[in-house]
Every structure is written in structure tokens, then in C-alpha cells.
Amino acid sequence: MRKKIVAGNWKMNTTLGEGVGLAKDVNEALKNATPKCDVIICVPFTHLAPVNDVIDQNKLGLGAENCADHVKGAYTGEISAEMVASTGAKYVILGHSERRQYYGETSETLKEKVNLALANNLTPIFCIGEVLEERENGTYHDVVKNQIVEALFDLSAEDFGKIILAYEPVWAIGTGKTATDDQAEEIHAYIRGVIADKYGKEVADNTSILYGGSCKPSNAAQLFAKPNVDGGLIGGAALDAQSFMGIVNAF
């Protein structure tokens, strides 16, 4: 059975002190809770090791927001998958639309990143999603399919089974404009079909597909009630422990 997951993506927010404090607050809130989903926080590189020290990863998983597309060496300023894993992190967000848009990430580089993440026992949270124009001109199915095929479909079924997908329509990220639950369900079901065509129904049924884009406590329950929406990747609302827990408790 596929997992239900709520994951926070802190993006480029919080100083180290603020981030450790936020992680402690979420960890504390989960201590005596029995959420109906796995809970993960993905934090800036600088925060990984200190956050790992203050959380119980049996209750709160830790991830990075990116990793390099090379193993190691002369790549000034880059952080490798091995370095991420050495902090205690277990997950890594890859292919976020902000990385594709602002840092020129392509399916080719993402393929390398996915391979390196898996080689270092990190679970990729792989992001896909269309821009507004592609939603409006009706090409969004192809856009999302190509993003999956190009970066992931060279994986064996076993390795594909380790991936968490996050569908994040770019027009809904940070805009307050959430996809409706029906819009999310329609594209999530399509994505599951694409996976089934390649890897078979069992792999498709076991793949967690998260929704991301202006997800908040007030709309999470409706989105998560849809059969093909297995949870959320949360930006802004993950920066406040109470609102993040409000989304976790939407399950």
C-alpha cells in the first residue's frame, strides 16, 4: 500500500536558529500524536545536521531541497547527495519548479541527481507540474508526462518504487490559487496511469503522489480526500508549526 505523506519544503527561509526552533516545535507537536500519515520536513542544507540533532526521525523525517548532479570534486558551492546523506537526512526534493525555472535544471541533470540520490539511499521527492499557459492551452498532460518519462523512466521498477512524486502546478505555488480537488484528482489519476503503462498497476498503485501549491489547513482535507492524492508538499504553510500540523491532521 502506498504511503500517505505530508512534507514541508521550507525553501530559502529561516535562519539557522529559527529553523532549529521550527523543527523542535514540529517534533514536539508530533511527540504525543499519532498522525495518519508520514511527516517530513525538507530544510536548507545549512540546517540539516543541527535539525537532525533535535528531531526524532522515527516520527519526523528529514530531507534536503536539492543535491548536486555530480558525485564529488571541483564544483564550488555544490552539495552532493553523499554529503546530504551524511547529515542524517533521508529524503531530497528534486526537480522543484523553482529549480527548473531559476537555475535551469533539465531532465538530463535531474536524471543524474535522481541516480545519485538513490545511490546514497536518499528517497527523492520528485516534482513535476505545468505552468499556467500549459494548463490553459490544454498541453499539461503531455508536459507532466514528459517530465516523468525523461527523468525517471530509465529506472528499474525496483528503483522507481523508491520515488515519491509531487505534482505541483506552477500557477498554484505561492499564489494562493490552489488547484481544486477535482483538478488535482484528474491529473494525479492521469499520472498514475502513465506509471501503470510503464511499470504495471502494482508499482503505480504503490507510488505516493503528493499535491503541492497553496495547500493549507483550510483546503488540505478536501484535497487529501481524493483517492489519487496521497498527501501534500507544503511551502508557505510549513513555516508555522501550527499550520503545518493543521495540514498533517487533515488526514
Active-site positions? 96, 168
From 44, 61, 95, 213, residue interacting with ligand 13P (rule: CB under 6 A): 213
Task: Verify binding: residue 105, ligand 13P, rule CB under 6 A.
Answer: no
Asked if residues 171 and 177 have their Cβ atoms less than 8 Å apart, the reply is yes
Task: Verify binding: residue 215, ligand 13P, rule CB under 6 A.
Answer: yes
From 212, 220, 228, 231, residue interacting with ligand 13P (rule: CB under 6 A): 212
Binding letters toward ligand 13P, positions 34-73, x by CB under 6 A: ----------------------------------------
The CA distances from residue 51 to 66, 77, 212, in Å, are 17, 21, 23
Cell 534536503 belongs to residue: 64
> Is residue 129 classed as helix, strand or coil in its secondary structure?
coil
Find the part of the chain contacting ligand 13P (CB under 6 A) among 66-74, 156-164, 207-215, 242-250: 207-215
Task: Verify binding: residue 233, ligand 13P, rule CB under 6 A.
Answer: yes
Find the part of the chain contacting ligand 13P (CB under 6 A) among 52-60, 113-121, 135-143, 234-242: 234-242
Task: Verify binding: residue 168, ligand 13P, rule CB under 6 A.
Answer: yes
Asked if residues 245 and 222 have their Cβ atoms less than 8 Å apart, the reply is no
The CA distances from residue 47 to 42, 44, 93, 213, in Å, are 10, 5, 15, 23
Find the part of the chain contacting ligand 13P (CB under 6 A) among 23-31, 67-75, 108-116, 168-176: 168-176
CA atoms of 74 and 86, how far apart (whole Å): 19
Least distance from C-beta 125 to ligand 13P, angstroms? 9
Least distance from C-beta 156 to ligand 13P, angstroms? 27
Task: Verify binding: residue 174, ligand 13P, rule CB under 6 A.
Answer: yes
From 23, 165, 173, 184, residue interacting with ligand 13P (rule: CB under 6 A): 173
Q: Which residue, 63 or 213, is less far from ligand 13P as judged by CB? A: 213
Asked if residues 93 and 66 have their Cβ atoms less than 8 Å apart, the reply is yes
* Position with the least CB separation from ligand 13P: 235
Using CB atoms within 10 Å of the CB of residue 249, give its burial: 0 to 12 exposed, 13 to 18 middle, 19+ buried: middle
The residues facing 165 across adjacent strands are 126, 209
Q: What angle do CA 130, 90, 218 make, to 5 degrees?
A: 50
Which set of grid coordinates corresponds to residue 76?
564550488
Residues forming the site for ligand 13P (CB under 6 A): 9, 96, 168, 173-174, 212-215, 233-237
